[in-house]
Structure 1
Amino acid sequence: MIRVLLVHDICLFRWALAEVLDRENDIDVSAATTRDATDRVRAVRPDVCVVDAESPEPTGQGILRKLSKLAKGKGPGKSPALLVLGSAHRPGPLRRAFEAEALGYVDKEASPVQLTTGIRQVAAGKRFIDGSLGFGFLQAADIPLTRRELSVLSLAAEGSSVSEIAGVLHLSTGTVRNYMSAITRKTGARNRVDAIRISRGEGWL
């Protein structure tokens, strides 16, 4: 039996998808919000965590990274394999998922059969990449911003001030301003607002 933890913050989506997976004879599914996910991992000890690649993680310590950093090896803290749900036109989340060492990638527009196939592959320790996400991965490789710069810009896009960003990321305000200057230069933007607009348009945020 493959133990699966489905992580999503939209209740109807979470439970509808759990209902689909629960029909499979070899899959035992549980569900959690991103807030509860790490505690549920320790309680359920899933083989696979299915997570939306676009789950919020502006600080770089979001759910994908938290799950990937769970203690590896033997015992209840063993890290489950990660399978993410992504979109080809959103390369930023795909890159964050890759950096979090996700093993499986399924297009959000794929059929349930594709998802269950991915879960079985990942549970067996094999990489699974939905073919329709190939272009998204090519775009992800071309993102000019580093993960830290994306974290800064994500917080800025949420309306956080320089001092608030500094507090969340444990940086000095001067360092945050340097990051914003680099972001503006790399994106070819006129200012911070323009950098956010460009990055959203490119699917980096």
Structure 2
Amino acid sequence: MIRTLLILDGALVRGALAFVLSAQDDIDVVGEGDTGDDATALIRSLRPDVVVTDLGVMAGPHRRFACPALVLASQQQARRLVAAVRQQAQPCGFLGDHVAPQRVVDGVRRLARGEPVADARLAVAALNRSNPLTERETEILEIAATGSPAKDIAARLHLSPGTVRNYLSRVVAKVGARTRIEAVRIAQESGWI
């Protein structure tokens, strides 16, 4: 029996995946949580064979799992995936967060056997280091990196504050960030600004 722990943001997705995994004869979902803090405590107490998690949970500072992890990530998060997997002491597999549930089931089984699990699309996206930002988006993000608010960026570039906010929203989405600060960090780590 493969003891599996689910640490995923979003109760609906987590519950659906728990249902699918629990229906398997060889997989036992031993626990669920939605934050990195949950992961640390639950791994210690439940001692799972595999953790299924999302990149947001795994990529937390100093977050190292004490068992193999199957990471679900979006295409936009692929660049962050490499660094998150690299910090882990245990084997990690990764799949797109859009895959069919059976691929997650297969991934859990493969990780439990010590086999690699990788989504080819995510691997290609993670290795693609080209800058997805336009010249204007890069310029706006560079100014935003100094801490300037949208109003000041707009005045400096002769744009409206709404236009600047729209640019920043597109930048956040393109780099797979949740906030402007995270977008700046990703762009700096990738060498785009």
TM-score interval (norm. to shorter): 0.5 to 0.7
- Determine the structure 1 residue equivalent to 2:69: 82
Instruction: List, as ranges, runs of 4+ consecutive aligned residues in structure 1 with deviation greater than 4 Å.
Output: none
Displacement after TM superposition at 1:96 (Å): 3.3
For residues 171-182 of structure 1, the aligned pairs below 5 Å read none
1:112 to 101, 105, 108: 101
For residues 75-154 of structure 1, the aligned pairs below 5 Å read 79-101=66-88, 103-139=92-128, 142=129
For residues 23-102 of structure 1, the aligned pairs below 5 Å read 23-29=23-29, 30-34=31-35, 35-55=37-57, 57=59, 60-61=61-62, 65-67=63-65, 79-101=66-88
Displacement after TM superposition at 1:126 (Å): 1.6
Displacement after TM superposition at 1:54 (Å): 2.5
For residues 7-18 of structure 1, the aligned pairs below 5 Å read 7-18=7-18
The percent of aligned pairs where both chains have the same amino acid is: 31
What is the TM-score with the length of structure 2 in the denominator?
0.65
Query: Which protein is bigger by CA-based radius of gyration?
Result: 2
Asked if 1 retains the 8 angstrom alpha-carbon contact of 2:79 and 2:126, the reply is no
Asked if 1 retains the 8 angstrom alpha-carbon contact of 2:72 and 2:96, the reply is yes
What is the TM-score with the length of structure 1 in the denominator?
0.61
CA distance in 2 between partners of 1:16 and 1:9 (Å): 12
CA distance in 2 between partners of 1:41 and 1:188 (Å): 38
- The one-letter code of the counterpart of 1:107 is G
In structure 2, the residue corresponding to 1:104 is in which secondary structure? strand
CA distance in 2 between partners of 1:11 and 1:199 (Å): 24
Of 30-39 and 88-97, deviating more is: 88-97
Q: Paired residues, what number?
A: 147
CA distance in 2 between partners of 1:57 and 1:89 (Å): 14
CA distance in 1 between partners of 2:52 and 2:127 (Å): 23
Specify every segment of 5 or more residues in structure 1 that has no aligned partner in the other structure, as ranges.
68-78, 145-183
Asked if 2 retains the 8 angstrom alpha-carbon contact of 1:49 and 1:82, the reply is yes
CA distance in 2 between partners of 1:19 and 1:89 (Å): 27
- Determine the structure 2 residue equivalent to 1:203: 176
Report the RMSD for the aligned CA atoms in angstroms: 2.9
CA distance in 2 between partners of 1:116 and 1:4 (Å): 10
Displacement after TM superposition at 1:42 (Å): 1.4
